[in-house]
Amino acid sequence: MWLRSLFCVAILLSSIVAQNYANDSAVKIFQQYIQINTTSGNDLTPAVNFWLKLATEQGLYTNVYWFTDGYPIVVIKWPGLNSTLGSIMLNSHMDVVPADENDGWTYPPFSGYLDNNSVIWGRGAQDMKSVTIQYYEALKRLKARNITLLRDVYMTLMPDEETGAENGMVPFVASEEFKALNVALELDEGTSYDLPVSPVFYQDKAVWQIRVDCHGVATHGSSFAVLNTTAIGKCSNVINTFLALRDQEYEKSLGADITNSGSYTSINLNKINGGTANNIVPQIISLVFDVRLATTVNETLFEAQLREWIRQAGDNITLTFLQKDSQSPATIVGAANPYWTAFSKAASTKGFIVLPTIPPGSTDARFMRSAGFPAFGFSPMPNTELLLHAVNERLSVKTFLAGIEVYEQIIYNLANLPGEETSVDPSVYLYYTSQ
């Protein structure tokens, strides 16, 4: 009986805690942001209006830019004392990957549901609406304490990180609008770890997305055309060769430290298209491969190898790059970079153990580094199951609120770095790793 009573008390206490969190203003804003369905391809106007409202409440200057119709970029300025010093850019993306509640979500993916265990559920909870709200709440707290920062701080919100950034970060970083921000350092997204540490991305892998079109004879489904004259046969040769590379790189990955996914190249066949009827040997088959290059790969030699494999697979096969990013440099994570020193000291002050890491994937930060600006990717989610892009993406409120506190300290440290301690040329805090 007493065990049952204890269980009931525990349930009651957890419900009370969850209710207290439900009244927290930061939690409410986080839930509201998740409730805006910003799935890639959706109209982002509601998200833009959401941020314009929040910026107005803080009396902030805001711009919205469109380099492509339907892809708004939001820039919110938190002014500092000295705009001649390089600014701190807090970047995030509004778009999220698709989520269908019929895929097994415990709660609707755009509900921002707060359960009795004080966990917020929804698409974007980890990737990366939590971080965006943490930026905002940290800056709001600093402002409420009448703390004026030395450097300008900008929140930038991109529209299409999940689909390659061709309409967001790519044109933005090349624009006069970006140049006017006078950026010294960019912060971007990281990831969760089910460990008591938080990774800090200092380099991203280059993304190559490749379409291979195999053309061959079209004939009756009952015939026996020579296999290497058919689209299927030629594509089979391509697949076997590319996946043999995948096997080799997979073996490398097994020996790689969790902080260094940059030591191997990942390659996956993600799409196969073709065929017109059940009884016709298809004339064309298309394959789409997603490749993330090891950070030391010589891109010229690697492309030459791919093209040679295509040539060996048969005639009338074409290779098209759907996306082909050059390898970005890495940001120095050591005493030679005062921004790293300020960042890591801030994290340590708040009890966060940070781990310099090269992730298996890529973020918008790679375009910043390629343009000559150091960047760190950081999502303060230690001891958190990795659920980016997953069904039942969620984040505990305790972790979310702790993230606001650490960002408050990080922003304070970075935005108060004296000009004499940093170079006017931010590219000095970058270095190249590719061959």
Question: Which residues are catalytic, by number?
Answer: 95, 161
**What are the backbone dihedrals phi and psi of residue 172, each rounded to the nearest 5 degrees, phi first?**
-65, -45
Residues 321, 355 contacting (CB under 8 angstroms): no
DSSP H helical segments within 128-167, as ranges? 129-144
Beta-carbon-side half-sphere exposure of residue 398 (alpha carbons within 13 Å):
9
Task: Please state, in angstroms and rounded to a whole number, the distance separating the CA atoms of residues 416 and 151.
Answer: 6
How is the beta sheet containing 207-215 ordered, strand by strand? 266-274, 284-292, 207-215, 317-324
DSSP state of 189: -
Q: What CA–CA distances, in Å, run from 113 to 33, 97, 117?
A: 12, 18, 11
C-beta neighbour count of 187 within 10 angstroms? 26
C-beta neighbour count of 343 within 10 angstroms? 23
DSSP labels, 7-69: HHHHHHHHHHHHHHHHT-HHHHHHHHHHTS--BTTS--HHHHHHHHHHHHHTT-EEEEEESST
Q: Helices 25-34 and 129-144 meet at what angle, rounded to 10?
A: 150
Q: Which amino acid is at 53?
A: K
Alpha carbon 252 to chain centroid, angstroms: 24
Q: Which helix (H) or strand (E) holds 247?
A: helix 231-254
Residues 369, 429 contacting (CB under 8 angstroms): no
